[in-house]
Amino acid sequence: MNETIARRQQAEREERVNKVINVAKKLFYKNGYQRTTVRDIALKAHFSTGVIYFYFDGKGDIYGRLLEQGYQIYMDMQREAACAEGTVIEKLKAVAYAYVNFYLNYPEYHDVISNQAFRHIGLPAEIVKKHDNLSTQSFLIPAALMEEAIQQGLIIDYKGGGIALILLAWAFIIGLITVHRRGDLDKYGVDFAKSVDFHFDIFMKGILRQESARSSTKSIRQPVR
C-alpha cells in the first residue's frame, strides 16, 4: 500500500513539474524571460505561487530545466545525424540540418538555447554557467567532423581548426534563421528550405579544398522538415 501511494505521489509530482515547465516554455517564448514572472507561470498553470516554489527555486531554475531539455533534444538530433551513413561532408551537412530542423520543430526550446542575451537577462550565475557548458558540448560533434574533414584533406586547414570553421558555419545558419523568424523571407517570397541549401553550399564551396569534394555537395540535399 505504501509503495502504491509513493508511486502515485511521484507521478503527481512529475505531472506538476512537467506542467510548470511546459507553461513556462510557452510564456518565455511569447513574452521573454524578463517579462515573465513566477506569478504569470502559476496563473497559467492553475497553481499557486507556493506550488511553483515548492518544486523550483524560481523562474531561473525553470529556465535551467528548459536549457537541459532543449540541449538534450538538439544533441540527440545531432548524434543521429552524425551516425548516419555517408561521407564526412555529408555528415557535416546532416548535422547542420539537424540544427535547422531543431529550430523548426522545437521553436520554444530553440529560443531558450539560442538566446544571445542570456548573460544579461538576470539569470542566476549557476544557470549562466550551465548554459555555457551545454553550449560548448553542442559544438563537439560538428567540430570533430570538421577536424576529420581537415585531416582527410577535404577542407582548408583554417586557423583555429574545426571549431573555428563550425563557428563560422553556425553564424551563417543563425543569420538565416534570424531573418526567417522575423518573417522577412516570407515577406519577399523566399523559400526557407532552398535558402538553407544555398547558404550551406556557398559556405562549403568556400572551405572545400578538392574539386572532387566540391562537386560532392551537389548531391547532398537534406530535408528541412
In tens, the pLDDT along 64-115 reads 999 999 999 999 999 999 998 999 999 999 999 999 999 999 999 999 998 8
pLDDT at 121: 79
Lowest-pLDDT range of 11-15, 120-124, 185-189, 221-225: 221-225
pTM: 0.86
pLDDT confidence of 119, banded at 50, 70, 90?
confident
**DSSP-derived 3-state class of residue 103:** helix
Q: Quick one: average pLDDT of 158-171?
A: 88
Q: Which structural domains are found in the chain, ordered by start?
A: 1-56 (1.10.10.60), 60-219 (1.10.357.10)
Could you tell me which of 133, 149, 137 has the C-alpha nearest to residue 79?
Answer: 137
Closest to 60 in 3D by CA, of 12, 116, 13, 130? 130
One-letter identity of residue 101: N
pLDDT: which is higher, 5 or 191: 191
Task: Say if residue 221's pLDDT is above 60.
Answer: no
Q: What is the pLDDT of residue 211?
A: 57
188: closest CA among 197, 177, 179, 196?
179
User: What's the one-letter identity of residue 156?
Assistant: I
Residue 219 pLDDT more than 60? no
Mean pLDDT computed over every residue of the chain: 89
At residue 149, does pLDDT exceed 80?
yes
Phi, psi of 155 (to 5 degrees): -125, 145
Helix or strand holding residue 176 (H, E): helix 161-182
